[in-house]
Structure 1
Amino acid sequence: MTPIKNQKRNKLFILIRGLAVILGGFIAAYGLEAVLIPNNVSDGGVTGLSIVGSQLSGMPLGILIAIFNIPFIWLGYKQIGKSFAIFSIIGIVSLAVGTSLMHHIPAIIEGDTLLITVVGGIIIGFGMGLALRNGGALDGIDMLAVLLSRKLPFGTSDFILFLNLFVFIFVATVFGLQGAILSAIAYFIASKVIHIVEEGLSGSKTFKIITTEPKTMVETIRDRLGRSATYKEAYGGYSHEKFMEITCVINRLEESKLKEIIQEIDDTAFVTVYDVVEVKGGNFRKSDIH
C-alpha cells in the first residue's frame, strides 16, 4: 500500500471512530433523559455526580458533565495520550450536548422500576461501550480508577466499585435510598453491557505481536503509549523462519491506541490478545508521555 493511500485510509478510520464516539455520546444521553432521570434514577461515575449537582443547583446537566470531566480529560491526556483525550472530549461534549437537546423529550418508560433500570442500563452501557471501543470515554471515573490501581495494591475494578460507592451515597441524598439502589442496579447493568460492546474492558490485556518491524514497534509503543515490552525469538512451525515476538501488557483504556500503533507500523503483523484479570509487581508501570 502506498503512503498516500495509507494516509487516506488512516484519516477515514479516524473519521469513522470520531462519528462512533459522537453516536455513543448521544445514545447515552438518550438513556439518561428518556429513561433514568425522569424516573428519579441516576447513573454512576462523574455523570451521576453531575445529575445530582444539576438537581441541587438547577444548572443544566450538560454544563456540569463538561465541567466535572475536565480534570479527568487532562489525566487521560497525560497517561494515555493525545488521541484518547481528543476522542474523550468529543464523546463528553456529545453527551453534554445530547442531554441539553433531549432534556424535554418524554420518558419512554414510567413506573416500572425493574424495566427502568434494565432498559436505562442497556442504553447507557451501549453508548459508553461504543465510545470506549473507538478510543474515547464518556465518564472520567474509569481514568481515575486506572491511575489509582497503579499507585495502590488493588485492581482497577475494585477502585471503580469503591469510587462509585461514594457516588451512590451522594445520589441517595437527592433521590432517596430507593433511587440510589435503582441507580446502582442500572449502573451494574450498564457495566455489563459495556463489557459486551468493548470486550475485555474490565481488566488488563496482553498483546503478543509478531512483526517484521520489532524494533520500531517497541520504540513506538514506549514513546507514544509509555509502556515497555519484551522480546523473545519465535520460529514458524511450517516455514522454520525466525521471528521476534513482542509481548506488551496494557490497561483496558489503551487497547485502541495500541491497535492503532500496530496498524500504522505493520498492518500485516500477527497479533494475539489475551484478557488479564490482574497485574501485580514487576515493571507494569508507565510514565507520563507528554
Structure 2
Amino acid sequence: MKKPHSRNVKKLLIIIAGAAIQGYSMGVFLFPNAIPSGGAGGLTVLFHHWFHVPLSIALWMLNSSMLVFAVYFLSAASAMGTLLGITVTSVSVNLSGFLWDTPFHNEWLDLACGSVLLGIGIGILLRQGVSNGGIGIVALIISKYRSVNPATPLFIINWLIFILTAYVIDWEIVVQAVICQYVSTRIVAWIYQFSFQAIYLKLPFLPLGWRKK
C-alpha cells in the first residue's frame, strides 16, 4: 500500500505534467494562430484584442477568478490543484512561446497538433480531479453534481464563447475553434474514462500473482 505522501507527490507531478502539456499546446500551436484553446482561451484572445493584455497574464487572471467557484463547489484540495495547474499552464504558455517556434507554420497542421496535445493535457488534469481553469471549473462542477462526463458541458459552453469571439474578431476563427474543441474534448473524454489498471492487468509479462492484487 502506497503511503499518502508518495501518492500526493505523484499526483502533484501528474498535475504539473498535464498543465505543462496544455500550456505548450497553447503557446506553440494555438495562440500564434489566434486559435482559442477553449472558453478561457477565447476570452483571453478577446481581452488581448480589446485591452492589449499579454496572453499569459490575461489567461492567468481569467482562470484565477474562477477559483472562487472551485473552493465553494468542489474542495480546497481541488482549488489548490487548479491554482497550481493554471499557474504552470500560464508559465508554460509564456516559456514555450519564447523558447520554441511554431514548427509547421501551417495553421491547419498547428491546429491538429495543438488540439491533440490540449486534449491530453486537460484530460490528465481532470483525471486528477483538478480543473484546467476557467470554463473547465464550471464543467467539473457540472460533472460532479450531474454525474456526466465533463467533456460534454465543456464543449457546449466553449462553443458559445467561440461564437462571441468569432463575431468580434473573425468568423474563420469559429471554424478552427470548434474543430479544436471537437478533437480536444474527444481526447479528454477518452483519457477521463480510460482504465490504465485494466491495461496493466492484461500485460502478458506480469506474474499471475501481480494480476490478482
TM-score, normalised via structure 1 length: 0.59
Q: 2:105 aligns with which of 106, 110, 132?
A: 110
> How do 1:38-57 residues align onto structure 2 when only pairs under 5 Å count?
38-57=32-51
Q: 2:58 aligns with which of 48, 60, 64?
A: 64
- RCO (CA 8 Å, sep 6+): is it higher in 1 or 2? 2
Q: 1:191 aligns with which of 150, 169, 185?
A: 185
In structure 1, stretches of 5+ residues that fail to align are 201-290
Paired with 1:77 and 1:109, the residues of 2 have a C-alpha distance of: 40
In the TM superposition, what whole-angstrom CA distance separates every residue of 1:99-158 from its partner, at most 9, and x where no partner exists? 121233311222252x23221110111111112222311133133245568999x99666
- Give the CA deviation at 1:88: 0.6
In structure 2, stretches of 5+ residues that fail to align are 195-213
- Structure number, greater radius of gyration: 1
Assess, with a 3 A threshold, how the Cα gap between structure 1 residues 199 and 150 changes in structure 2: closer, same or farther: closer
Q: Judge conservation of contact 2:56–2:93 (CA < 8 Å) in 1.
A: yes
Aligned residues between the structures? 192
Which residue identity lines up with residue 77 of structure 1 in the other structure? V
> How do 1:169-188 residues align onto structure 2 when only pairs under 5 Å count?
169-173=163-167, 175-188=169-182
Which residue of 1 is the match for residue 72 of structure 2?
78
In the TM superposition, what whole-angstrom CA distance separates every residue of 1:142-176 from its partner, at most 9, and x where no partner exists? 33245568999x99666434422331022214541
Paired with 1:99 and 1:183, the residues of 2 have a C-alpha distance of: 18
Which residue of 2 is the match for residue 36 of structure 1?
30
**Aligned-CA RMSD value:** 2.7
- Give the CA deviation at 1:72: 2.0
Give the structure with the larger strand fraction. 1
Q: Judge conservation of contact 1:44–1:184 (CA < 8 Å) in 2.
A: no
Identical columns (%): 21
Are 2:123 and 1:129 aligned?
A: yes
Paired with 1:43 and 1:76, the residues of 2 have a C-alpha distance of: 21
Q: Judge conservation of contact 1:25–1:131 (CA < 8 Å) in 2.
A: yes
TM-score, normalised via structure 2 length: 0.78
